[in-house]
Amino acid sequence: MVPQGQTVTIRHDGKIIPGTLDRRHNAPRSYVVETKGGRILRRNRRHMRLTSVEPYSLGTHQDSKEQEYRNRKQ
């Protein structure tokens, strides 16, 4: 069983996105996950990967690198 609040990555629309485990779902091996964008999704345990990375730092790092690149181009 995965602990509540655990950071995870999940598959959504063909992409791997970060999220936080909200709670266990009634369906077998299923969990409710909140994504960076605030969406609530149900995912089977097979479509989740546990991670020790802070849930929303993955996108933030990339966003800051893109901003840094734009600033250099100007």
pLDDT tens for 38-74 read 889 999 888 888 887 665 554 444 455 555 555 665 5
CATH number at residue 47: 2.30.30
Cα–Cα–Cα angle for 48, 25, 56, rounded to 5 degrees: 45
pTM, two decimals, is: 0.64
Look up the domain containing 46 and give its range. Answer: 7-73
Does residue 63 lie in a domain region?
Answer: yes
Does residue 62 lie in a domain region?
Answer: yes
1 vs 17: CA distance, rounded Å: 21
State the total domains in the chain.
1
| Joined tokens for residue 74 | 């100007």
Does residue 1 lie in a domain region?
Answer: no
Phi, psi of 67 (to 5 degrees): -65, -40
